[in-house]
Each structure stands twice: as C-alpha cells, then as structure tokens.
C-alpha cells in the first residue's frame, strides 16, 4: 500500500464536505476536496472528500457515527488524558475487572473513572402510570422509604471509599500500576446511567465484570452488562470471574468474529489501538450466513491481506467455519486455541431487533467464560 495514495472516502454537498473536512483535519488527517470550485459553493455533482489510504480506518471510525454531523462535532480537538470507565457493584467480579482496567489504563496513560449506581426505593416500589402525578402525603411509610434511600446512599459512599482505599493500597504494593482515578455515585438504572455517561464523556473503553456462565442468567450484573453491550456506542470489555490472565500484556490469543463487511476495518483498528504494543495472534473467523453457509471466503481473504499490511505487530490467520450451532462450535474452537479474548463488531440495532435477534456479543456473554471486547461499528 502506498502511503501517499489518495482515495475517496465520501461524496457530499459543499457544506457537508467542508464539515467532514474540518472534523477529519481536527483528528490530524490530511484531506483534499476534489471537483469543487471553492469560490462558487454550488456543484451539482457533489464534492469528493479524499484522504490518504493509510488513514482509512480512522476516517471510517469517525464518519460511521451519525452524530458526527451535529454542530457539536465541529469543535476543537479534545484535550487531556483519555478515560476508562469502570462500572462497579463492589462484587468480586467487578473488582477483578477494575484491576485489569488499571493495567489497560497504564498502557494508554489514561485515567480511571469508577461508577456505581443504585435504585431509589421510593421510585422502584411505586407503580405509576405515565399520566399519574407523584404526590407525597407525609405518611410514615413514605418517610421510612426516604430514610432508607438516604441509608442506601450512605452505604454506597462507604463501599466506594473502601474500594478506593483498597486500590491505593494495591498501587502502593505494586499489585496494580499507579493510575489516576476518581469515583462517582449516581442514582438510576445502571444501564441508563452508564450509557448517559458514555454519551457525555466518550470514554476510551468501558470495562465491566461478569459472573460465570452458571450464574449469569439469574444475576443483575450479567443483565446490565448485556444491555450495555447492545446499546452503548463505546467499546466495552467484559471480564468474567474465571479470568485466565492478570494483565492486558498477557493477552496472546485473540479470535475476531468477522462480519465480512467494511465495519471489520473499524473494529480491527479499534483492537489495534487498544493493544498497540502487544504481540497478538489473531484468528479471523468468518461467520456463516444463509446465503454463504461456509462463510465469505473472498472477503475473509481480502481482510487477511489488509490486516497483514496494516497491523504488522500482530500475527494473523483465518479459519473457515460452517456450523449451525455457533456457541457450541465456538467452545470447540476455544478448546483448540485456548482463547484469551474475543473481539466482536457490534452494529447499532433498534429495540425490536435487539429483543428478537440478540447480537452475537450478547449470546457469547451468557455462554462463554472468555473476556470479550465488543466494538460498536
């Protein structure tokens, strides 16, 4: 691949082309507009936005987000260190995920944000119609519930303080790397609070703990993680109780579940940015479909060629699978490769698709004890 070769990334109207040019240049990309008379911003055939071919992954990652063309996107590049969000319920699983997050943060010179959420018992124990108005009559029951709410808030603060003390002690003893961290306690549904925080702060990564496969189906943490996987537009790294490694540097064998679409470039670029200095062995798995029960041979071959050219630190190979029971066959693949991590591209879905056709990331969460990186595309 020639680094000075320009390719067309999009064709837009004059105004949209210049908006996209501004956004891409803010990220450090060189952008050229073609077939446009800059003195006369009216061109019926549209404006070609062209970039270096080597900048394609980053450019795709940016323009895939529909929000990018909102006025808020036209601004100066964000400054400061990146942030990794770690939702916690103070369980053993979430604390283990927190420790791994510190190792990942050290690789990226990022800070950690610990986030805990809790329910308001007054709201969760009250059945309201949308048209109802909520009134408090000063009865003993309501007063008692308000007191319980205050007690829950105080208990959460105490648990967070204990976690922070434990983390500082582990940093002092060299168990986890010295990373700046802060905490936040919020009231509300965990998945909503996490999604809202992610939308407002754009964390580099969200690291969440999960239970073992024998516990997840009846566990709130598992269901919250599943909902975040299906709705959040940040990368989510799920960490099971039965973690096979302690540090991000120990990840060696990764399976990437290819979609055989352009989004694979986005997802693999995100993986490479997460672990840029790690020597990984990445197995590209082509998932079958009704039209192509043995996978897309040509697409996976092209993806393999692209990866070998653009991600030289990794070793790549492909496996063609043809199966009707994807989870069972994936477990067989794990027995063969001893997988350290799964990487899954997760496309945006509407609520009906999510309810009746859960994503592969969602399925694997409940049927696999392997850490998983879910990458929104």
Tell which CATH classification among 3.40.640.10, 3.40.50.1100, 3.40.50.620, 3.30.70.260 matches the domain 83-126+138-239. 3.40.50.620
Residue 74 confidence (pLDDT)? 38
Region 248-376: CATH code? 3.40.50.620
- Nearest one of 60, 59, 61 to 25, comparing CA atoms: 59
Residue 63 confidence (pLDDT)? 66
Question: Would you say 373 and 360 are in contact if contact means Cβ atoms under 8 Å apart?
Answer: no
Give me the percent of the chain exceeding a pLDDT of 70.
Answer: 68
Residue 127 confidence (pLDDT)? 37
Q: What is the pTM of this model?
A: 0.71
Q: How confident is the model at residue 326 (pLDDT cuts 50, 70, 90)?
A: low
Q: How confident is the model at residue 44 (pLDDT cuts 50, 70, 90)?
A: very low
pLDDT in tens, 337-361: 888 998 988 876 544 344 444 556 6
Q: Where in the chain are all domains bearing CATH 3.40.50.620? A: 83-126+138-239, 248-376
Residue 67 confidence (pLDDT)? 46
Least confident of 33-42, 247-256, 257-266: 33-42
Question: Would you say 97 and 239 are in contact if contact means Cβ atoms under 8 Å apart?
Answer: yes
Q: Is the pLDDT of residue 322 over 80?
A: no
- Nearest one of 337, 338, 357, 335 to 347, comparing CA atoms: 357
Question: Would you say 252 and 283 are in contact if contact means Cβ atoms under 8 Å apart?
Answer: no
Q: What is the mean pLDDT of the chain?
A: 76
Distance of CA 303 to the CA centre of its chain: 22
Q: Where in the chain are all domains bearing CATH 3.30.70? A: 6-73
Instruction: Please give the CATH architecture assigned to the domain spanning 6-73.
Output: 2-Layer Sandwich (3.30)
């Amino acid at each position: 691949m020639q680094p000075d070769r320009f390719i067309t990334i999009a064709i837009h109207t004059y105004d949209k082309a210049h908006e996209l040019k501004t956004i891409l240049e803010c990220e450090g990309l060189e952008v050229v507009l073609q077939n446009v008379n800059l003195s006369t911003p009216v061109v019926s055939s549209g404006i070609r936005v062209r970039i270096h071919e080597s900048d394609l992954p980053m450019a795709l990652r940016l323009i895939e987000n529909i929000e990018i063309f909102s006025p808020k996107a036209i601004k100066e590049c964000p400054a400061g260190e990146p942030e990794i969000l770690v939702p916690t319920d103070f369980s053993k699983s979430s604390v283990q995920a927190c420790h791994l997050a510190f190792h990942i943060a050290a690789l990226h010179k990022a800070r950690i944000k610990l986030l805990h959420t809790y329910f308001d018992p007054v709201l969760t124990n009250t059945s309201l119609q949308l048209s109802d108005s909520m009134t408090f009559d000063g009865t003993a029951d309501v007063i008692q519930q308000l007191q319980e709410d205050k007690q829950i808030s105080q208990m959460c603060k105490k648990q967070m303080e204990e976690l922070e003390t434990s983390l500082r002690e582990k940093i002092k003893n060299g168990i986890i790397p010295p990373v700046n961290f802060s905490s936040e306690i919020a009231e509300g549904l965990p998945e909503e609070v996490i999604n809202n925080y992610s939308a407002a702060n754009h964390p580099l990564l969200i690291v969440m703990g999960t239970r073992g496969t024998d516990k997840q189906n009846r566990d709130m943490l598992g269901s919250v993680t599943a909902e975040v996987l299906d709705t959040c537009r940040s990368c989510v790294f799920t960490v099971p109780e039965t973690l096979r490694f302690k540090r991000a540097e120990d990840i060696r064998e990764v399976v990437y579940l290819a979609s055989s679409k352009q989004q694979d470039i986005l997802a693999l670029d995100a993986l490479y940015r997460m672990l840029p200095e790690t020597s990984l062995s990445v197995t590209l798995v082509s998932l079958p479909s009704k039209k192509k029960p043995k996978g897309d041979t040509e697409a996976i071959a092209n993806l393999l060629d692209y990866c070998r050219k653009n991600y030289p630190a990794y070793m790549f190979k492909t496996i063609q699978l043809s199966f009707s029971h994807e989870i069972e066959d994936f477990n067989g693949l794990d027995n063969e490769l001893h997988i350290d991590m799964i990487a899954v591209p997760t496309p945006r879905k509407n609520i009906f698709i999510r309810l009746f056709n859960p994503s592969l990331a969602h399925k694997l969460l409940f049927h696999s004890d392997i850490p998983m990186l879910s990458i929104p595309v």
